[in-house]
Chains A and B, each alone.
Chain A
Amino acid sequence: MTLPNGWEIVVGLEVHTELKTATKMFCGCANRFGAEPNTNVCPVCLGLPGSLPVLNVRAVDLAMAIGMALHCTIAPSTFHRKNYFYPDMPKDFQISQYDLPINKGGYLDLPDASRVSIERAHLEEDTGKSTHLGGSGRIHGADRSLVDYNRSGVPLVEIVSGPDIRSSSQARAYASELRGILIATGASDGRMEEGSMRIDANVSVRQADAEFGTRCEIKNLNSLRSLQRAIDYEAMRQVELIEAGGTVRQETRHWDEILGATSTMRIKEEADDYRYFREPDLVDLAPDQAWQDRIRSQLGPMPAQRRRELTARLTSATQAQLDAVEVVIDLGLDRLVNYAADGGADVSLALSRAANELAGGIEGVDRLTPEAFCATVLMEQRGELSSTQAKTVLGELLASGGDPHAIAGTMGFEQLSSDSLGETVDELIERHPDEWTRYREGDEKLAQFFIGQVMKATKGRANGKAVIAELQARR
């Protein structure tokens, strides 16, 4: 979207990401999404009198990894208390980093070659979660609320960008690239729908090259689509307000996904006095060079580099292939594609199988070894499996793991060398056009007829499932 009359969008993003640690930031309770309410809580994360925080070393490791991936300086840092009353915050203060964050001054390069500066990426703790009873189930109109502290004290890194973003699509690209980096560092699973990555957008508008306008902060955007829509809506709202002679008021706004609109949540006012001061229960954090070097040495390549490397393996990439590269990088499947390509597989075939079949069954991808993926692609490439068979084998590998040769054997793919099953099916279709038409029109019973015919023709060597797959591919 472009704004009318020479207006320009100015956006800075604050991204909160939950860290993938085993335990919470300051106590040994499990950091686990989806547990029964208030089962992962202890005196520390409930803020009981007398309890004290002790910093989780893994949270520091991951925060540094994020900082390094974002070209930040790792700096000696301290923890502060941010004081405000809220029922989902057990101590009624949040432990966060304030004037001395662990990471400062970095940048993130986007695929379109633009660069967004990173002001800081600091450690802080998450709050509990409230649900609202009565009324609409939303916070407004509810007559009571229930609080679950399982999330209280989960480690977060808050990544604050400079106000460098100039369009909603650039904001989206930034969030998407950052998400890829968070996944690549192992710091986060990037699951926005589970709230493990949440975005606040600071939006203002200005005439090109003028001073920044007054900004509004849109809280808790939890999908890339919401981020983009909310920024567009908010920018237009501000432009229309100003053009109608009004002024933008600094405030926190809420994005309503259904209405597709932002609305006032809270006006920033004097009452926002967080009385920050040094957290006296924690000591300074100053990772030495050896600690930093250890984290740096464990850092794998980031998405931009991996994207470049994978694209370079394609002789002349089509747009469809570039799109496939995006999908593969986004899901971290380039590791499998590269392994297969190194093992002699055709890059574009491996890429296509990864971007389609593997992406479609991503929840099972941990069951698939690089060796198995490589072997399957090679079998397809050599004509030992038809493309349909190869897809079936990959489906089986994602569902239950195992060895592709064995799976092909069990399914009877290998006995029928090359594409002979496919050929047999083609012949039978030609010979029984009426049955084929009825099957195509939805009469599933005829699948059995064709299986029977195939079995007769192959003397029982075929696999029923494989026959159905061949039939369906032709339907």
Chain B
Amino acid sequence: MSSSLRREDVAKVAQLARLSLSDDELDKFTEQLGQVLEHANDMGTLNLENVVATAHPFGLINVVRDDVVRPSLDRSEVLAMAPDARDGRFAVPRIMGEAP
């Protein structure tokens, strides 16, 4: 595993995460994230080929709920949270493309 994190990697990641960074921030983050990844390289030396990945600490399965309607929130309360609302809906600036 390589830890040579490049500036353009950080720029791409920032774009994916919807964050904009100044040139200075880009430099600083490249260095700081590089350090963390460097530290993570100690894992790269392990042979974990036959180890199963654990995404979750406990082995619960089939946790479900009954298909029974519960009260929804009051619309006025919901829309009161919104930065902008019109006609009972949340308003946003124009959407540039359809969902992927």
Contact (Cβ within 8 A) A55 B63 = yes
Within 8 A of A (CB), among B5-56: 15-16, 18, 55-56
Q: Counting CB contacts under 8 A, is A42 at the interface? A: yes
| Contact partner, A139, options B60, B65, B88, B97, Cβ 8 Å | B97
| Contact partner, B56, options A22, A266, A280, Cβ 8 Å | A280
The CA-CA distance from A142 to B95 in the complex, in Å, is 8
Digitize B70-96: 1 where CB-to-A-CB distance is under 8 Å, 0 elsewhere: 111101001100000011111111110
Identify the closest chain A residue to B79 (Cβ).
A38
Within 8 A of B (CB), among A114-139: 127, 130-132, 134, 139
Contact A43/B73 with A252-B100, A272-B100 known, Cβ cut-off 8 Å: yes
Contact (Cβ within 8 A) B94 A277 = no
Q: Which of B61, B63, B98 has the most CB of A within 10 A?
A: B98
The CA-CA distance from A283 to B58 in the complex, in Å, is 9
Give how many B residues have a beta carbon under 8 Å from the other chain's beta carbons.
Answer: 37
Q: Counting CB contacts under 8 A, is A56 at the interface? A: yes
Contact (Cβ within 8 A) B69 A23 = yes
A residues less than 8 Å from B69 (CB atoms):
22-23, 28-30
A residues less than 8 Å from B67 (CB atoms):
21-23, 56-59
Identify the closest chain B residue to A48 (Cβ).
B81
Q: Counting CB contacts under 8 A, is A103 at the interface? A: no
* Nearest Cβ on chain A to B97's Cβ, whole angstroms: 6
* Nearest Cβ on chain A to B75's Cβ, whole angstroms: 5
Digitize A42-57: 1 where CB-to-B-CB distance is under 8 Å, 0 elsewhere: 1100100000001111
- The A interface, classified by DSSP as helix, strand, loop or mixed, is loop
Identify the closest chain A residue to B84 (Cβ).
A144
The CA-CA distance from A319 to B28 in the complex, in Å, is 76
The CA-CA distance from A224 to B89 in the complex, in Å, is 31
The CA-CA distance from A85 to B90 in the complex, in Å, is 16
Q: Counting CB contacts under 8 A, is A41 at the interface? A: yes
Contact (Cβ within 8 A) A38 B89 = yes
Contact A273/B16 with A266-B100, A283-B63 known, Cβ cut-off 8 Å: yes
Q: Counting CB contacts under 8 A, is A464 at the interface? A: no
Q: Counting CB contacts under 8 A, is A148 at the interface? A: yes
Contact (Cβ within 8 A) A38 B94 = no
B residues less than 8 Å from A343 (CB atoms):
none
Contact (Cβ within 8 A) A55 B89 = no
Q: Counting CB contacts under 8 A, is B1 at the interface? A: no
- The B interface, classified by DSSP as helix, strand, loop or mixed, is loop
Contact A39/B91 with A54-B64, A55-B63, A266-B98 known, Cβ cut-off 8 Å: no
B residues less than 8 Å from A22 (CB atoms):
67-69
Contact (Cβ within 8 A) A36 B73 = no
B residues less than 8 Å from A46 (CB atoms):
73, 78
* Nearest Cβ on chain B to A442's Cβ, whole angstroms: 47
Q: Which of B66, B73, B99 has the most CB of A within 10 A?
A: B99
Within 8 A of B (CB), among A320-361: none
The CA-CA distance from A131 to B86 in the complex, in Å, is 12
Contact (Cβ within 8 A) A130 B95 = yes
| Contact partner, A39, options B60, B63, B75, Cβ 8 Å | B75
Contact A278/B16 with A139-B97, A148-B88 known, Cβ cut-off 8 Å: no
A residues less than 8 Å from B62 (CB atoms):
283-288
Within 8 A of B (CB), among A268-291: 271-273, 275, 277-278, 280, 282-288
| Contact partner, A55, options B16, B64, B72, B91, Cβ 8 Å | B64
The CA-CA distance from A282 to B61 in the complex, in Å, is 9
Contact (Cβ within 8 A) A142 B94 = yes
Identify the closest chain B residue to A220 (Cβ).
B98
A residues less than 8 Å from B55 (CB atoms):
277-278, 280
A residues less than 8 Å from B60 (CB atoms):
283-284
The CA-CA distance from A88 to B98 in the complex, in Å, is 10
Contact A23/B89 with A87-B95, A132-B94 known, Cβ cut-off 8 Å: no
Contact (Cβ within 8 A) A39 B98 = no
Identify the closest chain B residue to A82 (Cβ).
B100
The CA-CA distance from A43 to B77 in the complex, in Å, is 11
* Nearest Cβ on chain B to A49's Cβ, whole angstroms: 11
A-B contact sample (17 more), CB < 8 A, given A146-B87, A278-B55, A286-B62:
A23-B67, A23-B70, A41-B75, A60-B64, A84-B99, A86-B95, A131-B89, A144-B94, A145-B92, A146-B91, A148-B89, A219-B98, A265-B97, A265-B98, A280-B55, A283-B61, A284-B59
Of all A-B residue pairs in the complex, the 3 with the closest CB atoms, nearest first, are A28-B70, A58-B67, A146-B89
Mind listing 5 A-B residue pairs with CB under 8 Å?
A38-B90, A43-B73, A139-B97, A147-B89, A272-B100
